Amino acid sequence: MSSKATRASFGEALVELGQEFKNVVVLDADLSKSTKSEGFAKKFPERFFQMGIQEANMIGVAAGMSFTGKVPFLCSFGCFLTGRFDTIRVSVGYSNANVRLVGTHAGVGIGEDGYSQMALEDIACMRTLPGMAVLQPADDVETKQMMRFLMTHQGPVYLRLTRQNLASVNAADYKFQFGRGVQLKDGKDAVVFATGGVVANALEAAINLEKQAKSVAVVNIHTIKPIDKEIIQNWANKVNKFFTIEDHNVLGGLGGAVSEVLSELGKPVKLKRLGVQDVYGESGTPEDLYTKHLLDAPGIAQSLTKLL
């Protein structure tokens, strides 16, 4: 299985799209080496704008560029970008600007950089904005197909990417479909909805649980908004135990989105949200932090076993 950070896949796709689409422009807030937009900067310096440490200004500039026919990819750490929520709300959201807000370094998976760099509330913020799509790929192939989709999509998008490498979960012939969850594994006892950096771990945990005669399905939710209501309803007709797993605060993220749909279905379903349990992050290795928050495969398997 290949292993690559989705920020790296993003950087590679950005260069490919820049060669094909002359209206692609990239803006970065002094973090191009970390966000992986530096490849585009080297290849197309006339279409790359190093804005310095001034995210709010960068957001306004990107919105203005979008109204001239450009497709701006605006890059920073997710926590710094969504920390300018008020500017995003008016300049991008309310204006319905065709801007791609790219937030890297998502979740506790960034490791030693610590809480000040961790995006743990970003999904909750961004999905409250009308018309804002929220995307989080689970591996390399999904990231690159998602990037190509973004050249035809109209409207603002928040793209959430990892610092850490992720194992592949999708087949080579995978086809990205906006707003549609992807079933990675079938199951009879329960279903897990996972997103981003924890999808591979959730799949590994579910496969290992088969040895204990526990049959758990796994669904990759790459589009958190608009959420796939149909796949949630289909699973609510099959099983009465749901789990959501995310490297994000359990409040307001994927767990919140799935809860909202389930609450309106009127089905007798129990949902357990796994993730960062409404606490601030801390510094540590990515592996240790995933172990602490039960987001590695053994931790997920332990939680599922307990609740099943």
Which two tokens mark 297? Answer: 């495969």
121 lies in the same domain as 190 = no
Instruction: Judge whether residue 304 has pLDDT over 80.
Output: yes
Instruction: Judge whether residue 42 has pLDDT over 60.
Output: yes
DSSP code string of the chain: --EEEHHHHHHHHHHHHHHH-TTEEEEESS-HHHHT-HHHHHH-GGGEEE--S-HHHHHHHHHHHHTTT-EEEEEEEHHHHHTTHHHIIIIIIITT---EEEEESBSGGGGGG-GGG-BSSHHHHHTTSTT-EEE--SSHHHHHHHHHHTTT--S-EEEE--SSEEE--S-TT----TT--EEEE--SSEEEEE-GGGHHHHHHHHHHHGGGT--EEEEE--EEES--HHHHHHHHTT-SEEEEEEEEESSSSHHHHHHHHHHHHT---EEEEEEE-S-----S-HHHHHHHTT-SHHHHHHHHHHH-
Domain limit, last residue, from 123, 139, 167:
167
* Residue 96 maps to a domain: yes
188 lies in the same domain as 285 = yes
* Residue 116 maps to a domain: yes
Mean pLDDT confidence for 168-196: 96
Among candidate residues 38, 55, 204, 246, the one labeled active-site is: 55
Instruction: Judge whether residue 1 has pLDDT over 60.
Output: no
Entry pTM: 0.97
243 — pLDDT class (breaks 50, 70, 90): very high
pLDDT of residue 172: 84
Mean pLDDT confidence for 239-254: 98
9 lies in the same domain as 113 = yes
Instruction: Judge whether residue 157 has pLDDT over 90.
Output: yes
Share the mean pLDDT of the chain.
97
pLDDT in tens, 56-73: 999 999 999 999 999 999
* Residue 172 maps to a domain: no
Total domains present in the chain: 2
146 — pLDDT class (breaks 50, 70, 90): very high
pLDDT of residue 151: 97
133 lies in the same domain as 225 = no
Domain limit, last residue, from 119, 137, 167:
167
CATH of the domain at 246: 3.40.50.920
202 lies in the same domain as 74 = no
14 lies in the same domain as 154 = yes
* Residue 190 maps to a domain: yes
**18: domain range?**
3-167
Mean pLDDT confidence for 233-259: 98
162 lies in the same domain as 189 = no
94 — pLDDT class (breaks 50, 70, 90): very high
pLDDT of residue 2: 66
* Residue 176 maps to a domain: no
103 lies in the same domain as 232 = no
138 lies in the same domain as 250 = no
Active site residue 16: no
Those residues whose C-beta lies under 8 Å from the C-beta of residue 286, and which sit 6 or more positions away, are 108, 109, 110, 111, 163, 164
* Residue 70 maps to a domain: yes
Instruction: Judge whether residue 29 has pLDDT over 80.
Output: yes
* Residue 175 maps to a domain: no
Instruction: Judge whether residue 154 has pLDDT over 90.
Output: yes
127 lies in the same domain as 7 = yes
152 lies in the same domain as 213 = no
* Residue 106 maps to a domain: yes
37 lies in the same domain as 140 = yes
Domain limit, last residue, from 144, 167, 190:
167
CATH of the domain at 106: 3.40.50.970
